[in-house]
Structures are given as C-alpha cells and as structure tokens.
Structure 1
Amino acid sequence: MAEVVVVGAGVGGLACAARLAAAGHQVTVYERSTVVGGKLGRRVVERPEGTYRFDTGPSLLTLPQVFDELFADLGGVTPSLVPLNPVVRHVFADGTVLDSCADPAEFADRIAAALGTEAAADWQGLWRRAGRVWDASWRDILRRPVDSPTALAGLAWRLGDLAAVAPGQSLRGLGRRRLRDPRLRMLLDRYATYTGADPRRAPAALAAVPYAELSFGGWYLPGGLGALGDALLERCVALGVSVHTGTTVTGIATGGGRVTGVRVGTTFVPADVVVSNVDALTLYRDLLPTPRRLARLSDRSLAGFVLLLGVAGRTPALAHHTVFFPADYDAEFDAVFGGRPAPDPAVFVTVADDPSVHPPGHEAWFVLVNAPRHGVGRGAVDWNRPGLASAYADRVLSVLAARGVDVRDRVLFREVLTPASLEASAAAPGGAIYGTAGGLLRPANRGPVPGLFLVGGSTHPGGGLPMVALSARIVAEQIGPA
C-alpha cells in the first residue's frame, strides 16, 4: 500500500483519488479552494423572485460511457443524465439555424433542410473520415499513456487510420477540403476551441471531437453539472480518501531521485506517490524543486469571458445550448490570440430548461465568449483593468441583440467572470479553460521524477470532462494496485 497525495480536487484529482483508494492505497487530497470540483464551478444567486443556480464551468457532458465505467469501478452509479436534443443550436450570421443531434442520419437530414443536399453529402463524407479518426484515437490514444511525439508516431495505426488522421494538416484545412458550405466549415472550426486551440493551427485529428459529441450525444445533469463533483467526493469519502479543502500545497519534495512528499504551507507531508491535478504549467514552473517549463507547454490557449444573467420571462428561440456565429470567424481568432477582446465574437448561451436552477417564469443564462488569457505581454489582456469587464459585458449583450436576441431590458442582474476570475478561483494560468497546453499532444501523465504523476485537462489526453476522467484512469493504472 502506497501513501498517495493528490494535489487538487478537480474532477481528475477526485476520480484518480477514488480509483487509487479502491485499489487499496492510502490517499489524501489537498485542495486550495474551500470547495471541490475545480473548474466545475457553481454560483448560487438569491433574489426576491427566487433562487438562480449557475454552472460556471462545463455545461455539457459527452461520452457518458466514461463516467458509467468510472462509477461502476468505484462501486457507485453515474448521476442521472438527461440527453439533449438538439445538442447545440447553431445560429449563423445570415439567420440560418441548424440543430445538431446524436443521430447521424437525422443530422444529415437537418443539414439538407437548412443548407442543402450538397452540404449534407459533404458532411457525411467528413463524418466517415472523422469516424476513422475517432476509432484510432479511442483504441490507441485516449485510454493509454502517450509520453512523447515519438510514442504517438509509434502507435500501431493501420495505414487507413494514418490517412484519416492526416498528420500535418489543420482542422481548418480539413474543412476547406471537405466542406463547400462556409457555415459547415464554421461549425467544424468551433470544435478546435474545445481544446483551447485556433482551428487554423489545430490538427485535423480534432475532427474526432464532433464525432464523439454527435455519436454519443450531449447530456445534462439536472441541478447542474457541478453535482458531478459532489458525486465523486461522496465516492472518495466512502472509499476512505481524506479530503482537505482550503489547504494549499506550496511545493513537491524530492530526494534520492524520486518524490518524497509535499509541502503544505511550512509543513512537510511524506508520500510515496504524488498526483498533481494542478495545471501542468503551474506544476513545472512553481511546485517542483527545480522549476522548469516544458518546451511544449503553450500559453496560446483560449480563455473565456462569462456573463451570468438572471432574465425575466422566457426565450423560446434558445435551445439548451445555442451558439451565435459571427460573419467573420477569423477576425475573432485574430483578436483573441493577438491579445484583444473580439468586438464581434461567437457567443455561446446555455439556458437549462430545469426548474431547479431558476425561479418560475425566469431564466438563468450562462453566456460564454472566447477571450485572450489574463496577464501582461504579447497575446494577453489585463482583465483587472478598471472598466474593461463591464464595458465588454455591454458589448457582448449588444452583439446578442444584433443577432436577434435582445434581452437587455429583461436582465434583472448580471455577474461577470473574466479570465482573471478563473485564474483566481481554479488556479488556471491566465484563465485558460482547457489547460495551458492546448492542442493534441499534451504533457505526459508520468512526471519527470519517479512517483510523480499528472491528471487533468492540461495533461494527456486533454481537456473536457471525459478526457479528464480518462487521465485519472491512465494514472491509476500506471500506479497500479496496492
């Protein structure tokens, strides 16, 4: 039996802690925040008209089978999930509306109705290729360690898989070659942002992301996805994990060529194994005895600007998830990755038809736009600059109004969460939503010294709830049973 310390109680940290406890290890979790869940944040607002509950992090769960396996392995059951149809409503600048769904044939019919039969045929061709990418990724990448580009290249892909993955081609390039309708290209581009990346530089292999979402569906957890963190905490406690919130790990100690423990404030806590659920950049830069930044860690990862709105009345034009695209998507990416808030961004609106998250006759809106990271220097914005957040919130509401959804006279209250807010609340450098190491290849799950492991969205296999849960499985398997 190993003494294991997990640094951070995000979904990856909790899932890994529970798996290791179930395998017979003695596990302790330290979390700097007073609550668990990491980026799976929640906000409750009490108002005279009633209570509003917001998810301030993920609002969509995909690949539910990953969580079914996780909770089954932990002796529990997955919290009840509700399938979404549409998964996402896409509203384009010309007013065209396209609802995605988890039935490929039905989605092709919807594309034909909205964009024409040629567009539907193009999408079906892309879909077949994306399916091959997904199959290769699921079999060879997402559930096993990938420690280097050499290891990635050495996987036992068949020639057809290699052709589908198209090494060296961007997601944007794939869309231009396969999709004639610019609106479908825009829809495909958006999936690069799921990894915090620019579609013009993101690998074509990310076509697997829409395939996974639209094959296995998008799901909602009644009451909000924050309850997933509660369910994982309950499993941890039941399995004997000791969880300490409001407790900051200030360093990771090594000796004799391996990990020896962690420092909690000025106190040394011995450990045979340390699992880091903090961002990989923070780990390598701040917590190791000899700080260093991995060359492949990138700060060119999207952050997010969020509005939490209490809205009077109902808005029938909205689905659970609705994205309003700009006329010029490139202008948005040029601005965001150039360190400027985009004046005309894509706007993603989540409005859950769930009476437990809003008062009767009202709505709780989560509004997200891509944003430059918080900080100083090239590509960053100081989001704490007086007046900036409020002015940009006004701009986002004006953009929504210009696209046909003007709720400015119905907003009862608003709260603004900037990249600086996420950096402060979840220790996410610059407020990066999906971890600083955006893209396909991320830092390895095994750290640079024996006994150190990484889980979470900034490490392999990537960001998003199912990928984070898979990283926990990979690490638990590498550590092994007691």
Structure 2
Amino acid sequence: MARIAVIGAGMGAMATAARLATAGHRVTVYERTKTHGGSVGGFTREGFGFDTGPGLLHLPAVWRDFFVKTGKEPLERSVALTQVDPSSRHVFADGTAVGLPNASRGGVVSALDTALGAGSGERWGEFLGRARETWERVRRPLLEEPQPASGALPHDDPYPALRRGLLRRGARTLAEIGERELRDPRLAALLASYATVYGLDPRTAPASAAVLPYMEQTFGSWYVAGGVRALADAVHARCLARGVRFVFGSPVTGVVTRDGRVTGVETGAEGTVEADAVVSGAPVPSLYEEHVVGWERQEEWPHWQSPVRTGRVTVMLALSGGRPADAAHRTVVHPAGTSAEWAALAAGGVAERPTVTVLRPDDPLLRPDDGHEPVTLTATVPAVLADASWETAGPRVADLMVAAAEAAVPGLRERILWREVRTPDDIRAATGSASVPPPALAGAAGALLPAANTSPLPGLYFAGGWAHPGGGLAHAGMSGALVSGLIVEGAGFRGSQ
C-alpha cells in the first residue's frame, strides 16, 4: 500500500484518487479552497440553481467506466442523465436558425439542408466523414494512451483535407476548412464555434480540431439532473466511499524531494507530509510559476498548451416567467463572422458581438417554481484584459452577452430579476488559473499538446485539464484513468486495450 498525496480536488484529481484508493493505496487530497470539483462549480440563490462550469456532459462513457471500475455500479445509479435533443440550436447573424438533432448524422444533414439550403447538409456530412478519419487516427495516442514525458507524439496534422485551387493545397486550419470545404458562411460559423467555445482561434486552430464537432455529434450531449455540479458531488462521494481522505482549506506550498525523487508535500494544514507519489490536479503552469515544484531553469518546465490565453465569462440570469415548452436546451448565437471577435480577443479585448452560448435546462431542481426560469450565458474572453480589470469590465461584457442572447430568448432583458457574473478572476480563484485549457489536439507543431502525465520529476504525476489528454469534463476523467494506471502498473502502462 503506497501513500499518495493529491494536490487539488478537481475532477481529474478526484478521478485519480478514487481509482488509486480502489487499487488499495492510501490517498489524501489537499485542496486549497473549501470545496471539491474545481471548475465544475455551482451557484444557488432564491431557489435558482446554475452551473458555473460546464453545463453539458459529452462522452459519458468515460464517467460510466469510472463508476464501474471504482464500485461496480452504473453511473446512472449516482446521477440522472438525459440526452439533450436537439443537441444544439444555432442562430446565425443573418437570422437563420437551425436545430441539430442529438447523435444523428442523418438528422443533422437533413436539418442543415432544410434550414440552409440543399447541399448544405451533404457538405457538412462529407466533412464529418473526414473528421471521422481524423478521430480514428488520433483516438488512442491523444485520449487512451499516456503521452510520453518527452511530448514526442506525432506533430503532423492528420486531417485529410480536400485539395482545391491551382496549388492544390488543402485546408490547414479550422477556418480554412469552413472557407474551402463547407463554402457557406453559416456552415463556417457553425464549425468555428466548436473551436471558440474551447478558447481556440479558428483562424489558427489546426484542421485536426475537426474532431471536436465529430465527437459531439457522434457521441451526443447529455444533461445531468440538478446540473453538472451533481456529477462532481457524485465523484466526491465515490472517493469518500473508497476511503479517500480530503483536507480542505489546505494549499500545497511545496513538493518535497530527496535524491532527485518526490518524497512528500508541504501543506498548509498538516505541515510536511510524506508520500510515495504525488498527483497534482492543479494547473501545471501555476506549479512552476509559484515554485511549488523546485526548478532552476525554465527549460526544466514540462510542456503545456502555452498558446492558450483565454478564459470565460459566465452570466447567470434569474428570469420571471416560465420556460417555453419548445425552448432549446442550448442555443449558440453567432456574430457576423469570427475575424472581428478573434481580432479583439488577440488584442486583449472583447468584441461588441461575441459568440454566446445560451443554456436553458428544463430542470425543476434549478428553479423555484414553474413561473421562473434560470438561464446561463457563456462567452470566450481573454484571461487577462489589455486595458482594464475584470472587476470593472465584467458588467459591460455581461451586457454585451445579454444583448446577443436576445436572439435566442426574445424579451430577455425585460424578464431579468437579477444576475450573477463570473469572470476569469473567479475561474482563477476556483482552479488556480484564469485560462481554460482545451482538449489535446494534433498538429500545430505540438503547441496544443498538454503536459504529459509523468512529470520531469520522478514520483510526481499530472492529472486534470492542464495534463494529457487536456481540458474538458470527459478528458479530466480520462486523465484519472491514465495517471492511476501509470502508478499502479508502472511506466509500461499503455492505457486501456
């Protein structure tokens, strides 16, 4: 039985802790805040409830595997899941709207043909076929196997782009796929939004980011009754059932080493704690920037997704009036093109019309009665503003988001009873970083590969969104399986077979 210290109580860290405890190890989690879940938070007020992090679950098979492997129980015994249908509704700048059925490629093709014109669905369907080829090439190395500590995964973009034009050059970025292969500004906006919601600029995101819409449209979108925060509560409960010990309000201020190997951690609540291995679910950059892990030269830092400099603003709205029966659970409101939005983001600002995601769950657990409705808005923003603070800019950005969201919720402003705004500063307080990491992506010369699960320091492992296989709720669960496998089975562990 090994002694394992876990830094942070985020989803990836808890997924690792429960698996290690199930394998017989003695596991203690040290969390600097007073609660678990990391970015998967919740907010309640006056009978209204909101997710402050992700509002939908994709690839639920990851968490089904977690609950089976840590207790031989189905996920649905711990939380209630329902498929969201339509998976999403999209409102474009010209007023066109389309609802995309959940996990139905044929349904999506038909819906696009009806809303955008004949041939639109066929082009999107052909694109998804190429995205599937990309998925099949990257699935194991980018999701199911540990990344080598050297980060030496193939850097070539595996997307099989169409060759068009005089030079027969294929698309190299997601935006170029929209222009060259989809050939409709609305389809291009639809595609670009899958990058934008993960904080990726579609003008520079590699063509391999095509796997993002492929995963969602193939495996579906799911809602957790009571909000996704209920999943974090269930994972925490599973940790406790397996004997994991939690110490809240106890930051880890240092990783202790001897003879070049980890031997423990310095904690705020219990001082120096000995450990045979340490798992960090904290953002990898903060570990080094705050000198939690000792280092002499910056070249010693592990690789992570350094180009990512975006966070999110979340606006929680308490509305008078009930939710219409035909309201979509999720609506994405698109601006007129993405260039202006991303030019503003690159300059450290927010465009007047950002891409806004509107969530309207039909969940009695989240509203005081049927005469009221909770609505959540999210938008991608700079993690740090160039010429203002989030304390002063937050209300203005929230106003821009509410104005955009009226395309999805007519009469929205007149229905608002009150609102709460969460900015990147709040994300930093909850997770240790104002930036939100995307999933691992191939191509881009390896710039979008996160830190490997094994660190440069023997005995220290990385889990969570800043570690392989990157950000996202499902990916956090995958990191737990990979890290626990490396600790239990050793360096020869190659992931699930």
TM-score, length basis structure 2: 0.88
SS of equivalent to 2:33:
coil
- In 1, Cα distance between the equivalents of 2:209 and 2:88? 18
**How far off is 1:433 after superposition?**
2.4
- In 1, Cα distance between the equivalents of 2:440 and 2:18? 26
Which residue is 1:132 aligned to? 133
Question: Structure 1 residues 390 and 153 mapped into 2: Cα distance closer, same or farther (>3 Å)?
Answer: closer
**Any conservation in 1 of the 2:89–2:99 contact (CA below 8 Å)?**
yes
Which residue is 1:29 aligned to? 29
Which residue is 1:478 aligned to? 486
**Any conservation in 2 of the 1:141–1:461 contact (CA below 8 Å)?**
yes
2:235 maps to a residue whose letter is L
Which residue is 2:311 aligned to? 303
**How far off is 1:296 after superposition?**
4.9
- In 1, Cα distance between the equivalents of 2:304 and 2:35? 31
SS of equivalent to 2:40:
coil
Correspondence 1:43 to 2:43: yes
SS of equivalent to 1:195:
coil
**How far off is 1:113 after superposition?**
0.3
SS of equivalent to 1:384:
helix
**Any conservation in 2 of the 1:279–1:436 contact (CA below 8 Å)?**
no
Judge which range, 317-326 or 398-407, deviates more: 398-407
Q: What is the 5 A alignment of 1:209-358? A: 209-265=212-268, 267-286=271-290, 287-290=292-295, 292=298, 293-294=301-302, 296-298=304-306, 300-316=308-324, 318-358=327-367
Which residue is 1:56 aligned to? 52
**How far off is 1:435 after superposition?**
6.5
**Any conservation in 2 of the 1:307–1:368 contact (CA below 8 Å)?**
yes
**How far off is 1:273 after superposition?**
0.5
- In 2, Cα distance between the equivalents of 1:193 and 1:253? 39
Question: Structure 1 residues 193 and 395 mapped into 2: Cα distance closer, same or farther (>3 Å)?
Answer: closer
Which residue is 1:407 aligned to? 412
**How far off is 1:26 after superposition?**
0.9
**How far off is 1:247 after superposition?**
1.4
2:241 maps to a residue whose letter is A
String of CA shifts for 1:214-254, please: whole Å, max 9, x gaps: 11110001111101111111111111111111211111111
Match of 1:464 among 453, 457, 472: 472
Match of 2:379 among 347, 353, 369: 369
- In 1, Cα distance between the equivalents of 2:53 and 2:223? 13
**Any conservation in 2 of the 1:300–1:337 contact (CA below 8 Å)?**
no
**How far off is 1:330 after superposition?**
1.2
- In 2, Cα distance between the equivalents of 1:226 and 1:403? 24
2:51 maps to a residue whose letter is D
String of CA shifts for 1:242-284, please: whole Å, max 9, x gaps: 1111211111111211111111128111111110100111122
- The root-mean-square deviation of aligned C-alpha atoms, in Å, is 2.5
2:104 maps to a residue whose letter is D
Which residue is 1:67 aligned to? 63
Question: Structure 1 residues 435 and 182 mapped into 2: Cα distance closer, same or farther (>3 Å)?
Answer: closer
- In 1, Cα distance between the equivalents of 2:155 and 2:201? 26
**How far off is 1:480 after superposition?**
1.4
**How far off is 1:423 after superposition?**
1.0
Q: What is the 5 A alignment of 1:77-92? A: 77-78=74-75, 79-92=79-92
> Where in structure 2 are there 5+ consecutive unaligned residues?
163-168, 442-446, 491-497
**Any conservation in 1 of the 2:439–2:472 contact (CA below 8 Å)?**
no
Which residue is 2:444 aligned to? none
**How far off is 1:481 after superposition?**
5.2
**How far off is 1:310 after superposition?**
0.3
- In 2, Cα distance between the equivalents of 1:468 and 1:261? 24
Which residue is 1:17 aligned to? 17
SS of equivalent to 1:24:
coil
SS of equivalent to 2:119:
helix
SS of equivalent to 1:333:
helix
**How far off is 1:148 after superposition?**
6.4
**Any conservation in 2 of the 1:437–1:443 contact (CA below 8 Å)?**
no
- In 1, Cα distance between the equivalents of 2:155 and 2:180? 27
SS of equivalent to 1:405:
coil
> Where in structure 1 are there 5+ consecutive unaligned residues?
none
**Any conservation in 1 of the 2:124–2:182 contact (CA below 8 Å)?**
yes
String of CA shifts for 1:383-404, please: whole Å, max 9, x gaps: 123xx22232223223334677
The size of the alignment, in residue pairs, is: 467
Give the % identical residues.
Answer: 39
Question: Structure 1 residues 130 and 402 mapped into 2: Cα distance closer, same or farther (>3 Å)?
Answer: closer
